[in-house]
Structure 1
Amino acid sequence: MAPKQLRIGTRASQLALWQANWVKSELEKRYPGMAVELVKIKTMGDKILDVPLAQVGGKGLFVKEIEEAMLRGDIDIAVHSMKDVPTEFPEGLGLYCITEREDPRDAVISRGVKFADLPKGARIGTSALRRQAQLLKVRPDLEMVIIRGNVETRLRKLEEDKLDAVILAAAGLKRLGYTDKVAEYLDTDLSIPAIGQGALGIECRLDDEEITSTIAFFNHPDTSHAVRAERALLWRCEGGCQVPIAAHGTVNGGELFLTGFVASVDGKQSVRGTISGPVEQCEKLGITLAEQLLKDGAHAILAEVYQREVSRDKEIPV
């Protein structure tokens, strides 16, 4: 039986609130009479806006405070953008559902100019080293400008910072109704998305059977298998938002197809690979591809980025 009341922890940005409100409305439709409350929580990533994420360091910049509230019992579930969720969780917490994915691509916001037609030396705003590395690999002439803030803030920076274009996740733009500003959606062959981009994750206390049974309907199997494979690759590479690692999985008829990419920040060094197999082996496929990337040169790239050795020998917690 579903609880009469349920509290959702969320960040307070417009996009985070859209996502949490969507979960709220789906719960209320499925369980008429349930009182669903949004609890807004400010995370470290929300507080530090004048420093690039790569310099802030650490993992879980957008989820730690929310998880602490869950451990205290202040909230029952948390709604996250999957690309913000670390691959490891505090004891007792974990992802229980991954929702159906929205458009996973990156989008170009410009003055109507497509990526290939941007002038030589164009100034491009982005919040992700992953995007920076991939776009510089194709267009080393570009000047990358790291921008922070919510979707609305980054859109404004096109004019405020006199940029030629900004690159944002298509999913957030579509959810917030900004598709009219998109000049082009970048093919995933050109800009492989962030791990989990476009999908939402619902985190909870895993031993709370009342809550887990209540939210189970949100899980989308194909998206879950694809994202779990991407996260396994990220986990094996010890990646976070400060590292140029990308992966994108798709599922077709029980077969999972996964592409992975690791690069130096300037895009001059990179390694890319693909793998496929049964969806039931999603985590194994992600780790296998990561191992291949590390063998093919990603280990040296990451060692330079991390300034330490990359090693894993314990079971993956995804």
Structure 2
Amino acid sequence: MDRSPDYLVRRLRLRHLELLVALADAGTMRAAAARLHLSQPALSKMLGELEVGFGARLFERSPQGLAINAFGLAAVYRARVILGELARGKEEVDALRSGAAGVLRLGTLSVTATVPFAVARLRQQVPGAQVHIHEGRVRDLIQRLLDGELDCVFGAITPELLTSELLRLLRTEVMLEDELCVLCSASHPILKSRRLRWADLHALPWVVPPKDTLVRQGFMTAFLNEGLEPPEPAVEVLSSVTVGSLLRTDGNLLGATRLEHARDELARAAVSRVRVSPVIPLPSLGLYTRHGPETPAPLTQAFAQAIRWCGRQQARSAKA
């Protein structure tokens, strides 16, 4: 039987791809049928056509429902990408009809000083570009990238991703180095001190992110390296924007954050950086795109160039 890619193109429709995704998400024929507004017999027929086309059983059947197998996982991954690319094509056509030069769907950290500058730089280079920014945790954004919902993701190159099976599906480029940064109110007396070490800050009240974050882990490492038990924070909060607001409101607090996040707060009034030795590096920030035979879209490449330009500007500022 002909199971070539041409056979799949001739025999399968987009509805088959929607069915694959619906079955993977729903886990039962009944739930998938309801989601797609199909009868169960029609759904069973389409699943059979899919499995004939791929030449393999994609789901294992049991009284408890359907369980996707390794063949199904591979097929569903590609189905999500195809459907995502189709949605992206519709967005780009709509944008071009409205006079735009194209659409960049960008995933990024919720607070970053670099991305706004890079987007502004991109729009200088490509004046008609539209940018749709999606904020969130890197691991969630990476999945959306792989599903074809995003064009690129700017975020930390974490140890979790470096050891993950997902890494082989990604192109990853290091863009910026990063480190742990201590902030305080501009009126805090600690700013009068020089040559501070982490031990000098141990007894002071802190506002820091939760324990499952890279910043908190770097914060704990800083004190452990000094032979000290990491201090328990007076306030624990994820948002660096909230950290900045707390420091402006409570002049006794110190705050721990990424330098990338801190740049945005330091650009505003009433917050200063506390220089502490030794420097605690944090995972670098990079740009993720999907790995494949095709090169990233021109607008994605232009955004990567804009990020590199911002990195060079920051490096010059640090040396000045």
TM-score bucket (shorter structure): 0.3 to 0.5
- TM (norm. structure 2) is 0.48
Kindly name which structure, 1 or 2, has the bigger radius of gyration based on alpha carbons.
2
More helix by percentage: 2
- TM (norm. structure 1) is 0.48
